[in-house]
Structure 1
Amino acid sequence: MTFTITALPEKQCAPQPDAGLGALRTEQGNLPLESVDVTAAVAGTAAEMAVTQCFRNPHDVPLEATYVFPLPSRAAVTAFTMEADGHVVEGVLKERAQARADYDQALAEGRRAAIAEEDRPDVFTMRVGNIVPGERVTVRLALSGPLPYEDGAATFRFPLVVAPRYVPGAPLSGPSTGAGTAPDTDAVPDASRITPPVLLPGFPDPVRLALAVRFDPAAVAPYDVASSLHVVREEESGDGVVVRLEPGERLDRDFILRLRFPASNSLTLVPDEPGRTDAESGEGDGTFLLTVVPPEGERRTPKDVVLLLDRSGSMGGWKMVAARRAAARIVDTLTSDDRFAVFSFDHVVERPDGLSAGLVPASDRNRFRAVEHLAGLSARGGTELLRPLSEAIALLTEDGGGGLGRDRVLVLVTDGQVANEDEILARIGPALADVRMHTVGIDRAVNAAFLGRLAGLGSGRCELVESEDRLDAAMEHIHRRVGAPLVTGLRMSADGLDLVDGSVEPFGSLFSGVPLTVSGRFRGAAAGSLTLSGTGPDGEPWERRVEGAAGGGGAVRAMWARGRVRALEDRYAIGAQGWPTPYDEGERALEEKIVATSLRYGVLSRFTAFVAVDSRVVGEGGPGHRVVQPVELPSGWEPPVPPAPSPGAPIMLAAASYGGADAFGAPPPAPAAGGFAQAVPPPAAGPRMVGRARMSAPAPAPAGNTLAEVRPQLVQELERLAGVDRLSPRELRGYLADLGSRLSALASHLGGHPDLSALARDLEAAEEPGSDPGDLLARVRDLLRALTGEPGPGAAERPSFWKRR
């Protein structure tokens, strides 16, 4: 087998002596995203943030740049601007389909435009189109979000990279919804939007990152500030202390600051700004934020505990060590009055020897068996999370699980790197009302939004562990959470404050060391008090009355609106099994309510998008080049192991990809480091391909080879076709010619399959004059579907990708 790779002139792309595989440097630069700047102003347990992204076009034709990036999952995105050539355009929040139509029309008319969309509560997509050659375009997002507070410290966590996620399910037919590295599947219909290509280690000139956090001296000032994953420096200024990130850091892990200061009971009443009142619509005149500190004490109730430990490949390295320690610590907290079960899972679910029959007493012998099983676990396989969660909930809620007077507790230890979050919530969400669920997220780029949603539905706690050094403190918190809450049966009453019915989301119990925060809307004047009451740790009635104090700023309103939208989105995700078509009226009403809430309060949601369109025409016919910004490999993750190249497959020199399950939803046969089967990105999904690999004539095939042997490769070729619609006519002809060489090799392997051989010959001539690439593409799809048994067009209708994931 012979491969020929076109050489590039050294003057254009000089190799870097200390860089990784495929690392090149050009005078124009490598990638469109030049810099990311984050600034935050912290006041107590709230933060107002601004994110600035600068894109540059290094090409000689207009460019569209796509960047998939994370934001804090509980933060509200409230404003968006685009600046180019000294001109600032304010973004407008619109229903998502309308925003996309406005963006596409602007690009077709040759105008600059930018659009910001939410794909997950913590994953967003930015597209900036018609960036003219050599130009810089800057986009800015404004956010407001809460800081979780626990055991005397608040945490400011800002995610900086979208980690690869396991994608289960069978690929869908038709064009992909995005330009990522994984195909859309029936379990994750928008997988191609949340799987950006990953930079290979050593790639030079990473994105310039700047991050600064300022503390409001008028609010409670922290007396201790600690950064767990980054080197920072503190600076004194006239308006407070500023913590800055040292230059040169890469966007490969979360930025985490822990701020120690005392908490106290408070009720902040924030009137709406003039001109923004919702009194006429019945939504109220202001927003309140109530904070109540838990009492001292301890409640002891027998428990039924099921522990789920993720041992998938993405948990490799320090994460597996930390996860085993965390799980063992949880088992050790149990007493002889408790019952428990331990599940370890990847694409299969396993239980310790001798502990496989239901819930067992937490005797010394059984706990030793469980810890011994946990100590022998290593990372492997894919993250099939739905099955173990379903089995655990069934064990706790069926056949007498969680007997009378016993707490039912589910603890999940994982990095949460799955893409089918909504499918999981739809299947298990309703059952979590009967189980208290805690999640322990272990990663430097953890899927915090999903783990927080699970814990919220299960009225539990979400603890995030970003390093082994952090593990001991985190497990102290979890130890208290696994125990019974201090105050249960909470209810709230108002005195002198007219609350808007339905504006307060249900709240859980009070736990040791964790203040409870409740927000909602009120009518009339910003005056009055709220009383929280329930049953205390000693079984006696418990009550706290908090007087209100008027406050200012729009952060409280925005955070309440974001929480309201997230609660509605979770109800939407849980509301049905699968993705029925057409949607029923209940779903339509819920969609309309999410859109109305998002637009009324100006916060981004899954059904809306911010779009900014320039009035000036800067080009003709839309962008001539499209680039998806590759992201960093998360810190602590093993580099992807490239698969053996298929005959004639394109060689990607700047980015690698993580895929998920194979085409039929089965687990990968031999997972690589990181726990994901490796997949070649679809054409043009990542950085530009350099040259094409050609294969010499294949040798005759051995007798007896069958179609079943090559079916997986045929399925992979069919998946790749989902991305060819983005190629130019010239690129499409080249791709089809390369495909012909690969199909020719497969036909030869089969001993001369007549249909495959004939198609391969025609494809190899795709670059010759007179060939019809459109007809060839249609023939390829028809034959591959016939040979693989994949459904054709119209076999299963896709929903809009922002609906029913």
Structure 2
Amino acid sequence: MNCGLLNAEKEPVPLKSVEVELEVRDHVATVVSTLNYENKEDKPLEAVFVFPLPGDAAVCHFSAKIGQTEIVAEVKEKQKAREEYDDALSSGQQAFLLEESDQSPDIFSLSVGSLRPGESASIRLEYVTELAVQADEGLRFCLPAVLNPRYQPRGSEDVCIQVTSVPASLVPYSLSFSARVSSPRPVSKVESNCPLDALQYLNTEQTQATVKLAAGHKFDRDVELLIYYKDAHQPTAVVEAGQASAKPGSLMGDPVVMLSLYPEFPQAVMSSVASCGEFVFLLDRSGSMDGSRIKSARETLLLLLKSLPMGCYFNIYSFGSCHENIFPKSVEYSQKTMEEALKKKIEEMGADLGGTEILEPLKHIYSQPCIPSQPRQLFVFTDGEVGNTKEVINLVRKNSGSHRCFSFGIGEGASSALINGLAKEGGGHAQFITDTDRMQPKVMQSLRFALQPAVMDISVKWDLPKGVSVTALSPPITALFQGQRSLVYAQLTGQSSEAAEGCVTVKYSLAGHPSQNQLHFSLKPAEDTGRLPVHRLAARTLIGSLEIEERESRGEQEEGVKKKVVELSVQSGVSSAFTAFIAVNKGDGEVLQGPLVVRNVPTPRMMACCMPMPQYRKSFSPVVQFSDAGMEDFHVLQSSRCSLDVSESCLPKQPPRDPLLQLVSLQKASGCWVLDPALAAALGKTTREVEKPKPASVNQEVWGTILALIWLHGFKMDAQEEWELLAMKAVSWLRAQNAPCVTECVEAGNALLGCNMQKDALGI
């Protein structure tokens, strides 16, 4: 009978516990994970643990402790590291190997070799990563506790690492998690999708705080932290001193500066959103999108379509094992095309297309010629688990000159490498939406970005003291958005006094107007933490650029770039696609008795997926049936055809649970609302109640639109970011009507709805 820790297959599992310590300094996170193993079998074990990390993380330390002996791993060329690992095992030595997946930069495998019977080992893994800014200005940290098998496209080689996936209740190892947050600005709050102990401030200024995950956390979700600072959107520069032991003039030996830029665009330009563009929406309809995810995606498409400007073009694609598109090619946005998309197509969308073949629909979209004077904006919605991440990102990069790409990772386990990579290479913006989040606010923020004029001719100019030179480590900035952070890393070579200052100027053209933002900063290095997080992130950024260059080069040039990556990776101690961490305990070299048994450590499966799983989680095609309640938002659309002389029985029998979506669904493409029984119901009134106070000289569209605007401002200000764009469209429509008695209408509408909104507050 097997003993020890068991997985679902009754095999012993040597991983006992995972301890995670997070240190956040402003927007840079250092994560230290300790994995504790114990072999309770009577045979020597090799344990393989596969786990995700953020796609842009810089893994910078790996060590193992056996008893009182600690072995610190070295970074070596990947093939050499593998050979050294195999040689160590065959000679009876303990060895540990950590390497990045060849297919996706956010998947790592840890091999713990020759763990003797009864022996314990403690593995310490450290990485640094940048925290992304969310729609509500929070900084997002995610500890992926879920790794589902990645969907492998048909026809590709089976390169997926096979991992046992079990329900959370059966995962035989525990997690403890604590975080320390510090910033020049006060920490206003820390939120999480998991229960937390109370936030503890460490000083009276509230610039330092600690927080812990509450005891008893189950592995049924990623651990997500949202960190909020007061006055977060301030441009900053951090200068980090070089490593004393490194050679001056090298990346690790020189100071490195990290600039956080928050461009502020002229208000005159920002007040007029674009009225053109080709908006292409690409929606994941694979099996794992079933339930609340696909329903939320349909509601979000409704909001997006209502918020588009007249005169633009649009199309909607969906994909699974195959792909579909609503129109053969993008069509001009009008009441007719909007209704056709909503009524005939979106309401039928279910999570019923099987696997996740995202590459082919992208190829089809890029094969379509761009429409003159209509800049293409691509929105990609996916729960983001594919095995060919690098291939997908390469395709987006090759087509980056023809479009901007905005990506949305939906639900637990979405690949940060895929979601961030799509946006970064497509010059757009990435958002992550957990199953407890509302999708709409984040998507509408990205639509606002897409409607901003494209920033052109971006350049960065440095002004430094005499004797100090600068080497850019980041790729050129290709996209800037109002209020969104852009990071720039640079190496500073030469000597300067501690009191010296530098200046960086970002110049660009916005809607044909030249603009610039400037930041002055001190060259005095920040307090030394010993971890060199800025250097590590700068090295990872440069390594990423070189890896792209290697994929696009051939022959000797390809080998030359690969050699540069390996040299930089070894010098900085940061992992890459061509290197691995290797640690060997040379110890006594005693030959092990008996065969080495391989154990794959199971990873948790979300509770929603506790059904027996196929080899690839997303390759099954469940039959999806929609109840009337599931399509309620679109029934309202159909009822809006009724005229005023139709009885109240024409109204939907099951009004939507969400009154906001009910009202939004009734808006016309032009921006107006028509006074009819459906609108009356959405406002919580009868037809007679809304018709009676209408001034005689005002038509039904003007009256209906003013009532809708009053209701939005009066009852839904907490969701303003969701309806703001469609309200702007409604205001533009009203102004174009030159309607009489607008003030009288607002007063009458306030009286009807029980509000007290001023005309100016409505924007009319």
TM score, norm. by length of structure 2: 0.73
Task: Give SS of 1:612's match.
Answer: strand
Amino acid at match of 1:344: S
Does the 8 Å CA contact 1:390/1:428 hold for their aligned counterparts? no
Name the CA distance, whole Å, in 2 between partners of 1:163 and 1:311.
17
TM-superposition CA deviations, 1:449-505 (whole Å, max 9, x none) = 111111111111011101243323312322222212574422111111645445331
Q: Is 1:608–2:582 an aligned residue pair?
A: no
Alignment match, 1:455? 423
Q: Which stretch shifts more, 246-255 or 140-149?
A: 246-255
Name the CA distance, whole Å, in 2 between partners of 1:473 and 1:341.
21
Cα distance 1:452–1:99, how it changes in 2: closer, same or farther (>3 A)? same
Match of residue 217, structure 2, among 249, 256, 260 = 249
Superposed, 1:792-803 pairs within 5 Å as none
Amino acid at match of 1:513: G
Q: Is 1:671–2:621 an aligned residue pair?
A: yes
Alignment match, 2:599? 627
Cα distance 1:312–1:587, how it changes in 2: closer, same or farther (>3 A)? same
Q: Is 1:516–2:486 an aligned residue pair?
A: yes
Name the CA distance, whole Å, in 2 between partners of 1:597 and 1:461.
29
Q: Is 1:215–2:181 an aligned residue pair?
A: yes
Q: How far 1:614 moved relative to its partner?
A: 0.6
Task: Give SS of 1:530's match.
Answer: strand
Q: How far 1:94 moved relative to its partner?
A: 0.7
Alignment match, 1:87? 69
Q: How far 1:638 moved relative to its partner?
A: 5.3
Q: How far 1:116 moved relative to its partner?
A: 0.6
Alignment match, 2:189? 224
Amino acid at match of 1:671: S
Q: Which stretch shifts more, 77-86 or 152-161?
A: 152-161
Alignment match, 2:341? 370
Structure 1: unaligned runs, 5 residues or longer: 1-7, 17-21, 171-184, 577-582, 643-656, 661-667, 675-805
Alignment match, 2:637? none
Match of residue 60, structure 1, among 28, 31, 42 = 42
Q: How far 1:231 moved relative to its partner?
A: 4.2
Match of residue 163, structure 1, among 148, 153, 159 = 148
Name the CA distance, whole Å, in 2 between partners of 1:273 and 1:44.
22
Task: Give SS of 2:154's match.
Answer: coil
Cα distance 1:622–1:333, how it changes in 2: closer, same or farther (>3 A)? farther
Q: Which stretch shifts more, 224-233 or 511-520?
A: 224-233
Amino acid at match of 2:447: H
Cα distance 1:490–1:429, how it changes in 2: closer, same or farther (>3 A)? closer
Structure 2: unaligned runs, 5 residues or longer: 625-764
Name the CA distance, whole Å, in 2 between partners of 1:98 and 1:244.
40
Cα distance 1:528–1:15, how it changes in 2: closer, same or farther (>3 A)? closer
Name the CA distance, whole Å, in 2 between partners of 1:659 and 1:490.
43
Q: Which stretch shifts more, 436-445 or 517-526?
A: 517-526
Task: Give SS of 1:387's match.
Answer: helix
Cα distance 1:15–1:607, how it changes in 2: closer, same or farther (>3 A)? closer
Alignment match, 1:289? 258
Name the CA distance, whole Å, in 2 between partners of 1:336 and 1:422.
37
Q: Is 1:309–2:283 an aligned residue pair?
A: yes
Q: How far 1:567 moved relative to its partner?
A: 2.4
Percent of matched pairs sharing the same residue = 26
Alignment match, 1:42? 24
Cα distance 1:410–1:107, how it changes in 2: closer, same or farther (>3 A)? same
Task: Give SS of 2:393's match.
Answer: helix
Q: How far 1:418 moved relative to its partner?
A: 0.8
Amino acid at match of 1:376: E
Cα distance 1:137–1:463, how it changes in 2: closer, same or farther (>3 A)? same
Match of residue 397, structure 2, among 409, 429, 439 = 429
Amino acid at match of 1:270: E
Alignment match, 1:507? 477
Q: How far 1:603 moved relative to its partner?
A: 0.4
Match of residue 542, structure 2, among 526, 541, 564 = 564
Does the 8 Å CA contact 2:469/2:494 hold for their aligned counterparts? no
Q: Is 1:143–2:127 an aligned residue pair?
A: yes
Cα distance 1:605–1:585, how it changes in 2: closer, same or farther (>3 A)? same
Task: Give SS of 1:469's match.
Answer: coil
Q: How far 1:53 moved relative to its partner?
A: 0.7
Name the CA distance, whole Å, in 1 between partners of 2:594 and 2:90.
5
Superposed, 1:353-752 pairs within 5 Å as 356-372=327-343, 373-380=345-352, 381-395=354-368, 398=369, 401-404=370-373, 406-485=374-453, 487-496=455-464, 498-501=468-471, 503-525=473-495, 527-536=501-510, 539-550=513-524, 551-553=526-528, 554-573=532-551, 575=552, 584-616=555-587, 617-620=589-592, 624-637=596-609, 639-641=611-613, 657-658=615-616, 671=621
Name the CA distance, whole Å, in 2 between partners of 1:156 and 1:23.
30
Task: Give SS of 1:257's match.
Answer: strand
Name the CA distance, whole Å, in 2 between partners of 1:67 and 1:501.
39
Amino acid at match of 2:342: V
Cα distance 1:247–1:392, how it changes in 2: closer, same or farther (>3 A)? same
Alignment match, 1:647? none
Alignment match, 1:742? none
Cα distance 1:369–1:499, how it changes in 2: closer, same or farther (>3 A)? farther
Q: How far 1:436 moved relative to its partner?
A: 0.6
Match of residue 134, structure 1, among 118, 137, 156 = 118
Q: How far 1:14 moved relative to its partner?
A: 12
Does the 8 Å CA contact 1:335/1:363 hold for their aligned counterparts? no
Q: Which has the higher helix share?
A: 2
Amino acid at match of 1:460: G
Name the CA distance, whole Å, in 1 between partners of 2:623 and 2:71.
44
Cα distance 1:52–1:409, how it changes in 2: closer, same or farther (>3 A)? same
Q: How far 1:122 moved relative to its partner?
A: 1.2
